Amino acid sequence: MRADRLLQIILLLQRHARLSARELAERLEVSTRTVMRDMEALSAAGVPVYTERGRHGGCVLLPGYRADVSGLTPREAQALFAWSGRSALSDELGLRDALQSAMGKLSATLPLELQDDADALSDAIVVDRRRWFAEAEDTGALPVLRQAVVTRRRVRLQYASASEGHQRRTVDPWGLVEQAGRWYLVAAHRGAARMYRVSRVEEADILEEAAERPDGLDVRAEWERLRSGLEQHAPVGVEVEVRVHPERVELIRRIATPMVAKGTRIRDVPAEDEWPHLALHFRVREAASGLLLAFGSDVEVVEPAELRTRLLELATAAVATYG
C-alpha cells in the first residue's frame, strides 16, 4: 500500500539521513522510478524531503524532522526488541516478514541512544526452543490455524491422533498455545473443548462457517484446565537409583534432564563404590526403561527391584529378537 510505503521512506531517511534511490528501492522492493514518484508526493504533502544529484547525492530528509510514532521508554524499547529476537515464533506463525517490517518502522522512530541499547540487547539474546536430542516439530499448518483463529472461522482438520489414528473432524478454533517448543490448537469439537498438537495436523482448511465461541471465553484458562486434566492422567513415574560408569556421568545427566519429573533434579547418592551413583525421578516409567537400557553395561539400576526385572525382560526379548 502506498501510504505504508511513504511512511517507510520517512522512517528510513529519519534513521539513515541519506539513502540513494536504489537503496530505498531495494529496501522497499519497488523500482527506483516508484521511489522518485514517492519522494515527489512527500514533498508535495509538506514533508521536507529532497533529492541531490551526483556521486554523493541521494534522497534526503531535512535534519531535525522526526515522525515520532513510538513514545517508547528505554525499557519498553529493549523489551520489544528482545522479544522480536524470538524469530522462530513469527516464522512458524507465518508472520516473519510482518514482524521485520514492523520492527524496522519502529526502530526508525527511536532516538539513537535507544536504538543502540535495543540493538545491543536484541543481538545478545538467543532463544532456542528445541528440546535436547529431539526433532523439530512440524508446524506447517500453523499459519492456516492462525488465520482461522483471527477470522473466527471453523476449520476442517485431517488429524493423526496418537490414540485414535487418522481422522477428519470439523472444529471451532479458540486459540493457539506454544508450550516448550510445541504448538497446540485449543478448539471445540461437537461442543467439547480439546487440544490438538499442531505437528499432528496433516491438513487444515478454513470453512466459511463462523466458529462458535462461548461468551467471555478465556483461552488461557481453558488451556490450563485441559493441561491439568492431561497431567492428572499422565503415566506413572518412577524414582530410580543407578550406578554409572565414570565416563558416562555427564552424558546421562544431559540426556536424562529433560525426562525427569517437574520440580526434581538429578542427585548424587553417596555410595561405597568406584562408580558414581545418581538418583533420578522419571516422569514416565517406560521412558526410564528405554533410556537406561540404551546405556547397556555402562549404567546399572540399583533400585527399585521391579525396574531391574523389567530391564531384564526387555533385554531378554531383545536378545531373542536379534540374537
CATH 3.30.70 fits 238-322, yes or no: yes
- For 142-232, the fitting CATH number among 2.30.30, 1.10.357, 2.60.40, 1.10.150 is 2.30.30
The arithmetic mean of pLDDT across residues 16-27, rounded, is 87
Report pLDDT for 197: 92
Given a cut of 70, whether residue 200 has pLDDT beyond it is: yes
Domain definitions of the chain by residue range: 2-61, 74-124, 142-232, 238-322
DSSP string, 112-163: HHHHHHHHHHHHH-----PPTT-PPP--TTHHHHHHHHHHTEEEEEEEEETT
CB distance 97 to 86 below 8 Å: no
CA distance 74 to 142: 33
Least confident of 79-88, 271-280, 282-291: 79-88
Q: Answer with the residue of higher pLDDT: 73 or 237.
A: 237
Residue 211: is it exposed, middle or buried by C-beta count within 10 angstroms (0-12/13-18/19+)?
A: buried
Given a cut of 60, whether residue 289 has pLDDT beyond it is: yes
- Unique residue bearing C-alpha cell 536430542: 133
Residues 297-316: pLDDT tens digits? 999 999 999 999 999 999 99
In this structure, is the dihedral angle defined by the CA atoms of residues 159, 288, 280 and 133, taken in order, positive or negative? negative
Q: Residue 210 — pLDDT band, cuts 50, 70, 90?
A: very high
Report pLDDT for 69: 52
Note whether 2-61 and 238-322 share their fold.
no
Report pLDDT for 235: 61
- Unique residue bearing C-alpha cell 517448543: 181
Given a cut of 60, whether residue 29 has pLDDT beyond it is: yes
Given a cut of 70, whether residue 2 has pLDDT beyond it is: no
CATH class, domain 2-61, is mainly alpha
